Structure formats: C-alpha cells, structure tokens
Amino acid sequence: MCGILGQINKSDHVNADVFSQMLHTIHHRGPDGNGVYFDENNCLAFGHTRLAFLDLSEAGKQPFVSNNEQIIVTFNGEIYNFLELKKELLNSYNFITNTDTEVIIASYQTWGLAFVNKLKGMFAIAIYDKKINKIFLIRDRFGIKPLYYFYNESHLIFASELKAILASGLVRKEIDFSSFSDYFVYRYIPSPKTIWKTIFKIPPANYLSFDLDTFSFSLFEYWELKSNNEQENKNLLIDQINEILQLSVSEHIRADVPIGSFLSGGYDSSAMVHYMKNLGINPETFSIGFKNWEKSEHQFAQIVATHLNVPNKYVIADEKSLDLVNIMPKVYDEPIADISIVPTYMVSKLAKQNVKAVLSGEGADEIFGGYTWQHQFYEEIYNKKWWQKIMSIFIKQDTVNYYANAMAMGWFDKEELESMLFPSLHQFIPSDVHWFYRKNFKNNLTPLKSIQYLDMKCFMGELVLTKIDRASMANSLEVRVPFLDHVLFEKIFSLKESQYFKKDQTKYLLFENIKKYLPSSILNRKKQGFVGPDSYYMNIAYYQKELANSNLVKHHIINQSYLDNLLKQEYNWKLWKILIMEKWFSHWVD
C-alpha cells in the first residue's frame, strides 16, 4: 500500500523541489520509503511513497522501470494473484524482484491494456509507455484505491489524494458548488466530481488514456458487473462460495509481514477470522466499542475472539472522541459525512500500533444481501397483498426514490437545498439531485439486484471504501477486503435471487459456510451497522457550540436562519452533514 503521484508538463520542466513537497503530503500512505522518476526532458515526473509488504529490499522500490527501460510504473495497492500471473509470464519476462509491481509491468508488456482484466486486487496504477508516448491511469473495479487528476492545456497531475495536487500551486481552490450540493444529498461527492472545480476522480473500473503527443485524454470503462438467472444445486453452490472465499482470503494474506483483522462480532469480520484460522494463521484482531452502550460491538468481538482463540484488542469511544472531527478534513481532503469516520480512524490507529495490515469485511452486505433496506425492498416488491399488486399495475415502484430515501440520513432535496443555501448559489443545485443514483440504476436487472448494484456503485464504492482508505492510510495501515473479489461478485450475480437471498436468513450463502464455526449468540445476533449510540451523535449542545459563528454563514453560503431552525430541534441528521462541511470549509478554504 502506497501513495502515488505524477506530473506531466507540456513544455516547462517539473519543479523538483515542489514535486518533493507534493510527495511529502502523502508520506503517511507510505512511510517506509519514497522514490521519484524524471524523464530525460524533466517534463514528466512520477513519485511514490512506500508501505512495504512484498520484497522488503531496495529492489521493491518504486517508481519501477522495466528491463528494457520503456515502461515506468508507480502503483498503489496489492495484486493478490501476482504469483499465478508470474508463473504465466516466466517464459516471456526476466523477473529480478519478488514484487507484484514487476508483475504489472510484465503483464502489460505481454497483454497490453487487456492485462487489467487478469488482475485480482485493489489498485491505482500509473503506467508510462515510452514506445507509444502514452500514460495510463487505472483504478480497480470497485474503487478500493483512490485516484485523482487535474488537467489543463499545459499540465496533467494525478495523485492518491487531493492534497498532493493542491500542493502543486497550479490549481485554484475554487469550490464546485454543484458538488457542494451533491454532498448534502449523498453524504459524499460522487465520481467523477470532487469538491474542487478542476480536480476529478477516475471512477471505479475505469482507466484514463493520456496521449503526450496531443496532450489530451479519454476515459474508458473496462469492467461491468453482468447479471444472469442461473439455478444451481444448493449444496454445490454453498461449497463453491466456500472455495471462492477461502481462496480470496489466502490470496489476501500474502505478505512478508503479519496480517491482522478488524473484528466487530458480525458475520463478515468473524468469517474473515475463521478463514484465516483455517489457513493456519492466528491473527491479532482489533475492535472498537462505545462507552455505556449495551450494543457496543467490542463485546461481541470478544465472544468471537474467545471462541476462535485469537487475541483481541479494542478501543472505547466516548464523548471526547468527537474532538477527532477536527482532524477529519485533513484525513479526508473533501467532506464525507459517514457517521463512522471517527470510529474507523480510531480502530485503524489501534491496529497500526500492532500490525501493518488488516483484513476487513466490506463488500459482504452488498453481494450477499445483508442490508436492512435490501430486505425491506424485497418485501415491498415480492410480498405485496392482493390490492397492492393491483395498484402496482398502475403505479410503478420508483426504485431510485426508494433508494434515495434509504440512503439520505438527513433528507435534502432541491427545495431543502434552496432553503439552506444563499440565493446566489441556487443556480448550482442540480435539477435532478438524485442524478448519481439514476446514472447507476440498471432497469434491466431484477429488483433486488438493481438495489445491490446501487449499493456497490454508490454506497460502497463512493462512501464506505473512501472512509476505509483514508482513515486507515492516515495511520499508515493497509486494509484488505477479501469479499471484494470480482469472481465472487460475478458468481452471485449469475444466480437467481432466490439462490442467495432468503427472507428469514440474512446473507444466506455466507451463513451456511460459517454456521458450524461461530457461537449461536453471534449467528442469531440482529444485524447492526457500524454505528454508535444515538447519544454519541445527538447532543444538540455540541452542535450549538461547534456551529456558533459558522464560517459557512459568514461566507454567505448557508443561511443563518436555516441553521437556527435546525438547532431548535431535538435532533436532525442534517446537522451532522453541516458540521462535517463546516469543519472541512474552515480547514481548506477559510
């Protein structure tokens, strides 16, 4: 796991001192070392900060130059099937290291850009091919690893985090107020947009092809999750899923350093630890709890840890922990209002004190059907009463509207945004505030799969994975997510819904594979998201103090009267979104 950086100037030289300062802003992503590459004209520079897991020697440093010196790579992530790919390539490439980075170069030289379809892993890859004078910026299928870029007629800059691009001094810090509006609707700023007008995200499963001769680029999507309606033998299917998961975990624990695991006491993280134990690994596990809360997940994590005989450490969040909100703008670069940004940061900090990497359970709810809104939607669609079935002939279910309501956590529509924002900003409010959900809604999918697809592209791909990456990498910790194996997602989406989604058993195919190995108190535990007690977030006096003398109000962005009305209520989730934006604005703008 690392940080990557690049700058390409059309005519003038890249300033080495400034480039070094840019690289330093992402030092936390790779404190084990750094490296730079400048081309012979000093108009192109690649940078890398290293968090070492494979081939810890100097031979594993990046940017990496191919044997023939025609290909240069800087890469953030892990290629989990690199050993298998390396075996395929031994006859066509002379390897000098044991790194997955060199496998990327060999794969590209052998298969061209089609090599990306062979990769299993999380990655943000930059490739400079001297022979064709092109640069390729490639992001993994799910968006586990971030990749940003700035482009104008004279420069292309890319980086793992926004702060590195801003440090170039070439980007004006102008807020994109359409993105500002999006944030209040979604809790994040959806790809390809960012909070800044001239910086963009490469969307998941996309690559950018940049032609240095014409100084222009194009974006291409290289992977899309396909659906089918197959029926398989139940027992054989359960065994197949077990084999896929076991293989994925075995690939994810490949490293020259120990790998631990997050542990919440839910199905997903408990399954990770179970599979690690099956593979002969006794991982250190890490959990977070909340003070004076009977549902605190560290208690359930302890039950699993005791049952599986693995060590467990935990940290407890209390009312003082919310002070960490003040450093979240530096951690995240742009506002993100997931309610677990602080707890995720805390448990990452705890884990880093003991290991360099952990496994985590992201992706299981999306693909196995674990979210409450998935079950509620399933009920609404498939278990209608007779009169509801008749009504549905005339009134079609608006899936996007349903999903927007499920995701809102403080509802903002066009009217609400107009009420909150100064009139001069109303022009930037999108006419369809749910444009991103609509963009990712696939009406050719079955109803449940259409929700799962939205979860994969919108909730997980933009919110959850961003939270995990920044919170962990701010602590120089790598988080690996074995459920995010495209083979698993493709397998599940090839099936009839009834094969993997059961009304009375959440995450049926996962449950069937872990039910013999976990205690009944965990197997029968009601689904609980990564949240805290209401009292942790619902202290109105806290918001009154933090939002007094608001900079968003002072800069004529948010109306004071709107804020005053919210602060009179017992609690409203809109306050959390405003607080996070206030902290971000005060740090990066004011």
406 vs 24, 185, 373, 399, CA distance in Å? 40, 12, 6, 11
351 vs 121, 260, 290, 355, CA distance in Å? 22, 8, 17, 6
Whole-angstrom Cα distance, residue 346 to residue 304? 21
Nearest to 96 by CA among 130, 63, 118, 66: 66
Nearest to 483 by CA among 228, 142, 190: 142
CB of 95 closer than 8 Å to CB of 86? yes
Q: Which residues of 170-204 are buried (b: 16+ CB within 10 A; e: fewer)?
A: bbeeebbbbbbbbbbbbbbbbbebbbbbbbbbbbb
Burial of 531 (0-12, 13-18, 19+ CB in 10 A): middle
Q: Which 3 state secondary structure label does DSSP give 522?
A: helix
Whole-angstrom Cα distance, residue 440 to residue 454? 6
- E-only strand ranges, 254-359: 260-262, 285-290, 312-317, 357-359
- Beta bridge partner(s), residue 65: 72
**Catalytic pick among 2, 4, 72, 474:** 2
- E-only strand ranges, 166-274: 199-201, 206-211, 216-221, 260-262
Q: Which residues are CB-contacts of 368 (< 8 A; sequence separation ≥ 6)? A: 492, 500, 506, 507, 508, 509, 510
Token digits of residue 32: 């084990």
Whole-angstrom Cα distance, residue 418 to residue 536? 29
Token digits of residue 453: 């697809």
Q: Which 3 state secondary structure label does DSSP give 494?
A: coil
The answer to whether 2 is a known catalytic residue is: yes
Whole-angstrom Cα distance, residue 249 to residue 255? 12
Q: Which residues are catalytic?
A: 2
